[in-house]
Amino acid sequence: MHIHKLEKIWLAFGIAMLIVFLVVLGVSTFSMGMAPPSHSHAIDPEQVDTTPPFDQPGLKQVGENEYEAVMIAYVFGYKPNDLVVPVGATVHFTVTSPDVVHGFAIPNTNVNMMIVPGEVSHITHTFDEPGEYLVLCNEYCGGGHEFMKTVITVQ
């Protein structure tokens, strides 16, 4: 097979530009100290029920109108099943799973997480309006997935 001289030049130019791009990207990444997020923390998924704070899931007050909700997503539900918070409360959700990947979404809010077994996920939301907020699993987790929900009552 014969490759024309101009085709060889353009191939060499394209490969050289690709190499330059990868070198610049790699050097800038290491020189700027970029790394994957380090704030994640993991636990043994088989020991979720005995690992604090998941050994006592629930809602606890951590400040003035500020709460921490420690929850476990399991096949096919959430623990605790229902939460009650006052209007205007800021809730810090801490969620994990002992079994499979689950979702944690509250429709019409900014709350949407993927709950991976052994990984601890965090998100915060302020509930400004009273009502019942449905928490749904938006990651298919098995045959009873459509029944996986819990309710947060804001009063």
Domain with 76 in it: what CATH number?
2.60.40.420
Give 34-56 pLDDT, tens digit per residue: 766 656 688 888 888 888 999 99
Say yes or no: 110 and 52 in one domain: yes
Say yes or no: 29 and 55 in one domain: no
Say yes or no: 86 and 117 in one domain: yes
Q: In this predicted model, which residue has the larger pLDDT, 72 or 41?
A: 72
How many domains does the chain contain in total?
Answer: 2
Say yes or no: 57 and 27 in one domain: no
- The yes-or-no verdict on residue 141 having pLDDT over 80 is yes
Say yes or no: 136 and 107 in one domain: yes
- The yes-or-no verdict on residue 144 having pLDDT over 90 is no
Say yes or no: 124 and 50 in one domain: yes
- The yes-or-no verdict on residue 91 having pLDDT over 70 is yes
In terms of residue numbers, what domain contains 134? 43-154
pTM score of the predicted model = 0.73
- By C-alpha distance, which of 75, 73, 80, 78 is closest to 96? 73
Say yes or no: 57 and 118 in one domain: yes
Say yes or no: 66 and 15 in one domain: no
Say yes or no: 14 and 47 in one domain: no
Say yes or no: 60 and 105 in one domain: yes
Give 115-140 pLDDT, tens digit per residue: 999 899 999 999 999 999 999 999 98
Say yes or no: 30 and 75 in one domain: no
Distance separating alpha carbons of residues 19 and 36, to the nearest angstrom: 23
Say yes or no: 20 and 49 in one domain: no
